[in-house]
């Protein structure tokens, strides 16, 4: 089959491409590479207005003339590649807004893809209308909107999330769902809000190419190395503030037994090199399942603090810890860190279990085949 993957957030589409190609299919990725993260793409559609004077100029043009320079640039680049975006057996969108443009431009581009290719599928991967609506209705015990509900951030701070329930994004959601064969969730945070939806095709876990990720056994050392990667725009959305507070306490109580590495908003290739020395990786708090960064770190054998709630344990039938569940509770995170520092043998146990779990449930070839089964059903 000839397959077009539209958008890239976390390396999900790159790993899926590797699996699909290995299984004999032709795959192209189109997208921005997720801006500063710089994930590989085959056809690049890049926003030129993300920072500096260009961003200020873009904002000024929109305020004065109502012209969205970013969206227009994305649209122009997309249609410059029109001939390369036709004739696919399958097109898959990584999100309802896969190109990072405004809803009007997204609709034009998605309509073109629907009209010029055979089948259109959607991933629920990253915030979208249904997942944000579900969180706003407080159907989760906690969610990425918890900081908003608790008054620690403003609605303006969370506009990149809340925009998905505005009328124009609801219209985009409806537009996409009218045109797709179905929607696939990439993890439990998106699976749960979709349960019972007529277009829902089920959850397929994130694909991890373990052939490219070497398992690094965690040997005892004088100091436990803890890595905290921060994506500043998502600081509260990911719950990084809980980690920061727990680490502050840990420096006081166990400062002589730990080394902390902090990295902020760095490209993907640099990010993964920075945490190679770490025993423990602090990923995210406000989730029920692991995101892509957590899964890759687990494949390397890191002990990852992330979403590993009862829903995750039950779904996969786990009987041992493959990660450390990080709930929105500074005391819980701090105490879990202390337990590991004072019982380093547990670090080694979780490390081995994490790798085994990735090989069993997230292997990129097994996952690629699950996608193919849905494409050809």
Question: Is residue 177 a contact partner of residue 201, using CB atoms and an 8 Å limit?
Answer: no
Based on the number of CB atoms within 10 Å of its own CB, is 24 exposed (0-12), middle (13-18) or buried (19 or more)? exposed
Strands 43-44 and 26-31: parallel
Residue-wise pLDDT for 136-145, tens only, equals 999 999 999 9
Eight-state DSSP code of residue 256: G
Which string of DSSP letters, residue by residue, matches 304-338?
EEE---HHHHHHHT-SS-SSEE--S-HHHHHHHHH
pLDDT of residue 310: 95
Q: Which stretches of the chain drop beneath a pLDDT of 70?
A: 33-37, 47-69
How far, in Å, CA of 266 to CA of 230, rounded? 9
Asked if 100 and 50 count as a contact pair (C-beta separation under 8 A), the reply is: no
Torsion of CA 67, 69, 74, 75, to 10 degrees: 30
> What structural domains and CATH numbers belong to the chain?
2-207+364-375 (3.40.50), 224-361 (3.40.50.2000)
Task: Give the Cβ contact number of residue 222 at 10 Å.
Answer: 7
> Do residues 169 and 97 make contact, with C-beta atoms less than 8 angstroms apart?
yes
CB 34 within 8 A of CB 9: yes
Write out pLDDT tens, residues 319-340.
Answer: 999 999 999 999 999 999 999 9
Residue 98, both tokens: 């896969």
Cβ atoms of 290 and 268 closer than 8 Å: no
Distant-in-sequence, close-in-space partners of 128: CB < 8 Å, separation ≥ 6:
95, 96, 97, 164, 173, 190
At 170-223, the pLDDT tens digits run 999 999 999 999 999 999 999 999 999 999 999 999 999 999 999 999 887 889
* Residue 324 CB neighbours (<10 A): 23
Q: What is the pTM of this model?
A: 0.91
E strands along the chain, which residues? 2-6, 26-31, 43-44, 90-93, 119-124, 182-185, 200-203, 224-230, 258-264, 280-282, 303-306, 324-325
């Amino acid at each position: 089959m000839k397959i077009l993957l539209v958008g890239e957030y976390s390396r999900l589409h790159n790993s899926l491409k590797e699996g699909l190609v290995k299984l004999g299919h032709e795959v192209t990725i189109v997208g921005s590479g997720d801006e500063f993260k710089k994930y590989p793409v085959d056809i690049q559609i890049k926003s030129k207005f993300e920072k500096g004077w260009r961003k200020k100029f873009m904002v000024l043009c929109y305020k004065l003339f109502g012209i969205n320079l970013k969206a227009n640039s994305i649209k122009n680049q997309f249609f410059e590649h029109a001939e390369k975006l036709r004739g696919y057996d399958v097109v898959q969108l990584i999100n309802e807004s896969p190109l990072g443009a405004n809803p009007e431009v997204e609709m034009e581009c998605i309509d073109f893809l629907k009209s010029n290719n055979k089948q259109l599928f959607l991933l629920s991967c990253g915030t979208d209308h249904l997942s944000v609506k579900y969180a706003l209705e407080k159907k989760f015990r906690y969610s990425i909107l918890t900081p908003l509900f608790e008054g620690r951030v403003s609605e303006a701070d969370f506009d990149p999330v809340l925009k998905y329930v505005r009328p124009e994004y609801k219209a985009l959601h409806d537009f996409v769902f009218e045109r797709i064969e179905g929607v696939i969730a990439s993890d439990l945070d998106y699976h749960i809000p979709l349960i019972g939806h007529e277009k829902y095709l089920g959850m397929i876990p994130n694909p991890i190419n373990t052939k490219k990720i070497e398992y690094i056994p965690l040997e005892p050392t004088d100091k436990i190395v803890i890595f905290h990667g921060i994506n500043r725009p998502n600081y509260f959305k990911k719950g990084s503030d809980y980690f920061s507070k727990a680490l502050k306490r840990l420096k006081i109580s166990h400062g002589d037994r730990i080394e902390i590495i902090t990295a902020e908003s760095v490209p993907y290739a640099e990010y993964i090199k920075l945490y190679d020395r770490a025993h423990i990786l602090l990923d995210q708090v406000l989730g029920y399942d692991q995101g892509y960064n957590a899964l890759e770190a687990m494949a390397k054998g890191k002990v990852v603090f992330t979403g590993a709630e009862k829903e995750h344990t039950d779904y996969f039938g786990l009987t041992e810890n493959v990660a450390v569940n990080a709930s929105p509770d500074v005391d819980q995170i701090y105490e879990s860190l202390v337990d590991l520092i004072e019982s380093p043998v547990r670090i080694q146990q979780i490390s081995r279990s994490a790798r085994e779990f990735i090989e069993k449930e997230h292997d990129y070839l097994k996952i690629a085949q699950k996608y193919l089964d849905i494409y050809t059903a």
